[in-house]
Amino acid sequence: MNQLLPHRHKANLFDNIDLSPFPNNISWNGSIIYLDRDGVLNRGSENYINNPEELEILPGVAKSIAKLKKSGFRLCLVTNQSPINRGLWDHQMLERIHEKMIYELKEKDEHAELDLILYSPYAPFENSISRKPNSGMLMAGNIIINSSENSKKVTPYDDLKKSYLFVEGKMSAMVGDRIVDIEAGKSHSVRTFLVNPNIGLPHVIDRILDKTDKGDVLQ
């Protein structure tokens, strides 16, 4: 497996995050919800989301994100974006797509805010640790969010190893619409939730918030 590290929206990968306070000044519950993008936050397409005009936030997603923030979760988007290294479009186009997503989520609900956006620009043949079903993006999210939350400077690693990770909160979870998402979550040892891509995050929001729900299990 190649140690091709994830990329991060409008920042160097291991920059600290200036984390926003939680609603009602509650404290972080110690857990991170890792979210796939297409089919979870927005309507997906077999031909990719190629520009901001093609991005359509699924109904109820902003409200679901706000519920998670009001429950003390940090949120990390982890999305495969191989069109970049396939040469279909570039990092700047993805930045524009994500800027529209950020704006529309906040417009729908002021508390619908993602703490960190990570993406893998790598094609399958590059065998990157960052491309799901591998867990590199989740590993990076764990390091960046925990370090930032604890006011520690993020260590700028050249690779990703499990020995670098902070202990995950028991309520941490990976949410996706494909088996590769579930495999990435299992590899990272967090709960996993498989959604209907026509519904997205609202399909499983109550399950995520249920402390007794252990998530979906790969057959």
Domain ranges of the chain: 7-208
Active-site annotation, residues: 36, 38
How many whole angstroms separate alpha carbon 181 and alpha carbon 193? 9
**Residue 32 CB-half CA count within 13 A:** 31
SS3 80: strand
Question: In this predicted model, what pLDDT tens digit does every residue of 7-25 receive, in sequence order?
Answer: 999 999 999 999 999 999 9
CB neighbours of residue 149 within 10 Å: 18
- Phi first, then psi: give them for residue 163, nearest 5 degrees: -70, -15
User: Do 77 and 117 meet the contact criterion of CB atoms below 8 Å apart?
Assistant: yes
Confidence of residue 129 (pLDDT cuts 50, 70, 90): very high
Check residue 11 and report its DSSP letter. Answer: S
Q: What digits encode the pLDDT tens for the residues 130-146?
A: 999 999 999 999 999 99
Please state, in angstroms and rounded to a whole number, the distance separating the CA atoms of residues 198 and 115: 24
- pLDDT score for 186: 97
Q: Residues 164, 157: contact at Cβ < 8 Å?
A: yes
pTM for this one? 0.98
**pLDDT per position as a tens digit, 96-120:** 999 999 999 999 999 999 999 999 9
Per-residue confidence band for 26, with pLDDT thresholds at 50, 70 and 90: very high
Architecture per CATH, domain 7-208, reads as 3-Layer(aba) Sandwich (3.40)
Number of neighbouring beta carbons within 10 Å of residue 110: 12
Report the interhelical angle of 91-108 vs 61-70 (nearest 10°).
Answer: 80
Residue entry with tokens 């990968």: 13
Cα–Cα dist 110/107, whole Å: 6
